[in-house]
Chain A
Amino acid sequence: MTQQNRLTSGGRIDRSTPLTFTYNGKQYKGFKGDTLASAMLANGIDVVARSFKYSRPRGIVACGAEEPNAVLQLGATEATQVPNVRATQQELFNGLVSASTNGWPSVDTDVMGMIGKVGGNMMPPGFYYKTFMFPESLWDTYESMIRKAAGIGRAPRERDPDTYDSINQHCDVMIVGAGPAGLAAALTAARGGARVIIADEQNEFGGSLLNGTEKLDGKPASEWVRAVVEELSRYDDVLLLPRSTVNGYHDHNFLTIHERCTDHLADIAPVNQVRQRMHRVRAKWVVLATGAHERPLVYANNDVPGCMVAGAVSTYINRYGVVPGNELVVMTTNDYGYQAALDWADAGRKVVAIVDTREAAVGDRTEAARQRGLNIISGSAVIEVQGTKRVTGVSVAGLSASGTKVIGSVTKLKADTVATSGGWSPVIHLSCHTGSRPVWSDSVVGFLPGATVQKQLTAGGINGQYETAIALQEGFDAGQKALAEVGLAAANVVLPETEAMKVAAPMSLFHIPHLKPTSQAPKQFVDYQTDVTAAGIEIACREGFEAIEHVKRYTAMGFGTDQGKLGNINGMAVAAKALNKSIPETGTTVFRPNYTPIAFGAIIGRNCGALFEPERYTAMHKWHVQQGALFEDVGQWKRPWYFPQAGETMQQTLNRECLAVRNSVGILDASTLGKIDIQGKDAREFLGRVYSNAWAKLAVGKCRYGLMCGEDGMVFDDGVTACLGENHFVMTTTTGGAAHVYEWLEIYHQTEWPELEVYFNTVTDHWSTATITGPNSRKLLAELTDADVTNDDFRYMDWKQITVAGVPARVFRISFTGELSFEINVQANYGMHVWEKLIEAGAKYGLTPYGTETMHILRAEKGFIIAGQDTDGSVHPYDLGMGWCVSNQKPFSYIGKRGMNRSDCTRENRKQLVGLKTKDPKQVIPEGSAAVLDPKGPKPLEIQGHISSSYWSETLGHSIAMGFIKGGLDKMGETVYYPMADGTVIEAEICSPIFFDPKGERQNV
């Protein structure tokens, strides 16, 4: 393949390093230094996409982040697929594989034409809103068609083999953009001794200075760029980030930079290198030197491949040595458009005409064109383009002075490229990210950054200053200002001399009129990516959408992956004209992060796979794994769920584990329960205020169960607290509630009762807890301690400091199973040792490890609640039948007391926790099932409550359930029904939730 549009010399490409790439299955050649777009243009590839609604062929129009059409799918393998890559920003590498996305079955065939036409007719402005009003059944048809046709790209179906990274950065000055303004700011700030980060989305610094033929100090501008970059790279405190897009500007000068470290090297990052890195920067001051995007003009058939923005044409010629056509027509409203014609002529190709919408413009660039003898047609416009897959010619006509009407006759010219310039739109995106509203400037003919609360400076193109001399000066000023703001002395910088250019005033013109009214003229595209036309915007305005934000949503303008970088201002101008308003009266434009699409990999960084969420393990975790335990996530903890043996079903395991506890002894790893150490002379008083029951008389050496309620009186946590000393307690919480309870204690202490002398410390991870439970648990404990653990000396609800298996232990004689139980707490480092000693000594009793599921069954047999399962924030202690755990004798109005006495909490017929015994003992009611009184009654049936806990009890030989029933505590013995989704009904009798050992004798033995 020849590169027919490649110049033999010039540009910043390396002709000695040819690269091979693939586009839609065909191989082409480019050079090192090319973007994918410049290489495609060099090879004469005109069509890069089919449009979203109308399936029209589309070509490359721009050369940077603003490109709306050349949005490609990259990747040589399934795993390395990357959607939404702008060819204008992707550097070429050898072996790059690319494909168009919105061309099904191919961008070059017209198969889509017919469907596209149907689609176009079916998708007027407001299509989505109108369509949703059609029968729902049609939507699937529309959607599948749109998805197939639209350029959405696709995610890889396989795991991304690359590594992504993130890093936190701090600096005095963050400079966004390394064009003339950014480089001048960086040089100034760096010389002044500031910590500087300067980032630019392109592969090399220089910005607009690399795209033209301008001279600085009489030499090519690139030489000044090279000298500045060399100096900057010598400072230790200056970080230079090429290939790095500042994608978000967040509150308090926090910025996110998306660095593409190796995207330019290969399909997969080289060994030991990351593909992309996210920098999270906190900057004292920010200098936005983001430049400007050139606006194309809106004219009939302006989407035919070969229609480009003027500055992009210059850039392809000067930077990449590519002339993207043979015969050029320029249409411009300003002096800058002339540059494309000058560069084109310098490249030795034919300039057919420069069509200037202004009457008589006299600036240095217009004069240069005149002197070169280029054909300048003033006071006129290209009103229409001919061609389908490539421009073949243009229609030129005179314009009225205001630019609103075509006057005079139409001349047809032959051309294959149309370069337009409607002026420039400052790149204000980042300044908008933090909520600043941009303001319109009539002199700039564009929006400028608005007032901001950020420590933000702006310089150059973003301020509507497009002359290099001014951009350099503004960058220098911003650098000095930043130095002063961070307390550093002014720097000594001499700016290079520029060639002063006289610039004539631009004309404020966006939408070129046609002979026919807009609605009947050939399509005049405003937003290429979403296929929004000037006629579409007029329709939206006619249908009553006046605010630009509504027009945008109704037409989808600006909703593509390019966020309407090229089209938004033109769209506002069309709307303003239709509404007979000025652009600022129509509204303003707002941009949101991210500036350009970003890979999920860069966002997640290393926090994927096993590192996605922290996992907490107990000291005995390894043992559980070795025993083949299955695990359950409880908060971030991995808790053993059950310990299956070979050949067992889950239910068989649970049955075996339950029976072992009831008949001999079982062992549970209870280390994950939250533990809070509470000390201070007012600790006891504090406990009385945060628990619903009494704590005044709890003696040293004793434990007590407590319920914790919110101010609304509703239970949110529970647990046992032990009195370690007169002013010293240890509180246990649920595993999942530990952090919340801890903060709860702190907030009340710090904000309400700072006068109480009490201190809290979370000690959950300091302790390992092995709970042995069952009739043989005392015998087992006695084997590992010399202490007296007889019932006479170690009573139920006592705790003792003793030695177990040779290490100091706090042993709590409390029970969550109803059996004789000991909770052995040792320093976490001893956890495994004690556990293994217990297992060893317990063998003769058939000591059986069990997990959370058996724990749940055993406690449900006893009617013990689990906060969070049998409570849901709407039940108070009396609803739970736990009035015994509420003390109304306490002098202080503890948290929850006033709440549970609100009228709604004391009314009749509240849902109350009861036991439920199925008529068929083998039936286990699914948790969450709703109770009704008469399943055959008129619908809707009145719900009486629901099942909160339900299990098979092997010990009892029947199912057991706990659940809520309206007024349930007064309905013992009555029948309720649980209708199932399959039409069957489970019948159950309301009973006490204490199914096993109702007198509680077994825990006291």
Chain B
Amino acid sequence: MLHIYCPHCAEYREEDEFHCAGQAHISRPLDPEACSDEEWGEYLFFRKNPRGLHHELWVHAAGCRKFFNMTRDTQSYEIKEVYKIGEQPSVVAE
């Protein structure tokens, strides 16, 4: 069970309070109508599944209800950093 630092609450809480909401930094295209079916399909369905560093979107669901980003090693489960929506990671997956 992960021990997660919520950047909004500014404290460590148990994983029970959080949900993972998938890969981070997937922006909705600003003009969906201009996307081809293929581009829209890429946005909708294609996600990374790395062994190693992964940027993920999490929500403190049973806490402050805020979303934030997490860089996590999917092999060791180490959390390298958490950062707020709109911020960029300082530890970057290759």
Contact = CB atoms under 8 A, between A and B. Distances in A.
Nearest to B27: A752
A248 to B, nearest CB: 10
A515 interface: no
Contacts of B40: 898-899, 902
Interface in B61-85: 61, 65-67, 73, 75-79, 85
Contacts of B35: 898
Nearest to B61: A743
A893 B30 CA distance: 9
Q: Which secondary structure dominates where chain A touches chain B?
A: mixed
Nearest to A904: B37
Nearest to A452: B76
A282 B67 contact: no
Interface string A446-480: 00000001000000000000000000000000000
A899 B27 CA distance: 16
Given A751-B57, A754-B86, A893-B31, A252 B67 contact: no
Interface in A352-396: none
A141 interface: no
A897 B66 CA distance: 27
Nearest to B66: A750
Interface string A742-764: 01001100111010000000000
Contact of B75 (A435, A712, A747): A435
Contacts of A746: 59, 65, 67
A281 to B, nearest CB: 11
A827 interface: no
B84 to A, nearest CB: 10
A611 to B, nearest CB: 17
Interface residues of B, number: 31
B8 to A, nearest CB: 10
Contacts of A251: 1-3, 77
A254 interface: yes
A505 to B, nearest CB: 36
A903 B19 CA distance: 33
A893 B33 contact: yes
A577 interface: no
Given A252-B2, A893-B32, A751 B67 contact: yes
Nearest to A903: B37
B65 A252 contact: no
Interface in B22-49: 27-28, 31-33, 35, 37, 40-41, 43-44
B53 to A, nearest CB: 13
A594 interface: no
Please indicate which of the listed interface residues B2, B41, B44, B61 has the most CB atoms of chain A within 10 Å of its own CB.
B44
A434 B77 CA distance: 9
A750 B40 CA distance: 21
Interface in A494-548: none
Please indicate which of the listed interface residues B28, B75, B85 has the most CB atoms of chain A within 10 Å of its own CB.
B28
Nearest to A742: B65
Given A252-B1, A252-B77, A746-B67, A897 B32 contact: yes
Given A435-B76, A453-B76, 6 more contacts: A250-B1, A747-B57, A752-B27, A897-B33, A899-B44, A902-B40
11 contacts: A252-B2, A253-B3, A282-B3, A712-B44, A743-B19, A746-B59, A746-B67, A747-B21, A750-B66, A751-B57, A752-B27
CB-based closest 7 A-B pairs: A898-B32, A252-B3, A251-B77, A893-B32, A453-B76, A750-B67, A254-B1
